[in-house]
A = this chain, B = another copy of it.
Amino acid sequence: MSDIRPGGSFGNQNLLFLTDGQLRKGIEAMFFAYRGFTADPDKILDDKDYGRAHHRALHFIHRTPGTTVNNLLTILGVTKQSLNRVLRRLITDGLVKSSVGTKDKRERNLTLTPEGDQLEQQLSEAQRRRMRAAYRAAGPDAVAGFRRVLEEMMDHDSRRHFDVWQGKNDG
């Protein structure tokens, strides 16, 4: 269970970072960090009577303009009923535009209106501010490691969604 072996795949580096104690600390760090990660946008959302679900929708519509409802469902991993409630509000509030698909008229293409884009920017910037500070304090090598571990922690499907987008936005 404790996973300490002399040698192994990291040469003469010991594997103390894989002990149950270290893993428990990583788990707890994830919990506290994620709470910090969501804290700033949550404050903004609260004022406007939106929730984290609205933020997620805004984020992914911003990231992939013209995406369909089905795409969004898959990425967010929620039911259409749940997403619909959130989306309906964003549409009636004029933050999201839903337009009938050109190729397939059953589909709805979702885009942010200027107002939607503005809120997305505001939420995103609050979140980026914290991440920027953390990145800056930790330095580029730590950031690379951070990103590496996060990616390894994702489910296969999430990672696929992430990597595809990631690739498209690299070059």
Among residues of B, the one whose C-beta sits closest to the C-beta of A35 is: B158
Q: Which residues of B contact A146 (CB under 8 A)?
A: 26, 142, 145-146, 148-150
Instruction: State which residues 124-171 of A face B: CB under 8 Å.
Output: 124-125, 127-128, 130-155, 158-159, 161-162, 165-166, 169
A152 near B134 with CB under 8 A, answer yes
Q: Which residues of B contact A133 (CB under 8 A)?
A: 152
B169 near A21 with CB under 8 A, answer yes
Task: Report the bound CA distance from A28 to B15 in whole Å.
Answer: 29
By secondary structure, the A interface counts as helix
On whether A36 and B158 interact (CB within 8 A), knowing A142-B145, A169-B21, the answer reads: yes
Q: Is A53 an interface residue (CB 8 A)?
A: no
Q: Which residues of B contact A23 (CB under 8 A)?
A: 128, 131-132, 135
B127 near A27 with CB under 8 A, answer yes
> Can you report 23 A-B residue pairs in the complex whose CB atoms are below 8 A from each other?
A1-B125, A17-B140, A18-B135, A23-B135, A26-B131, A27-B124, A27-B127, A28-B59, A28-B162, A29-B154, A32-B150, A32-B162, A33-B154, A34-B34, A35-B155, A36-B158, A133-B152, A134-B153, A135-B152, A138-B145, A141-B145, A144-B145, A146-B150
Identify the 9 closest CB pairs spanning chains A and B, nearest first: A145-B145, A142-B145, A134-B152, A146-B149, A32-B158, A33-B150, A29-B150, A142-B148, A33-B153
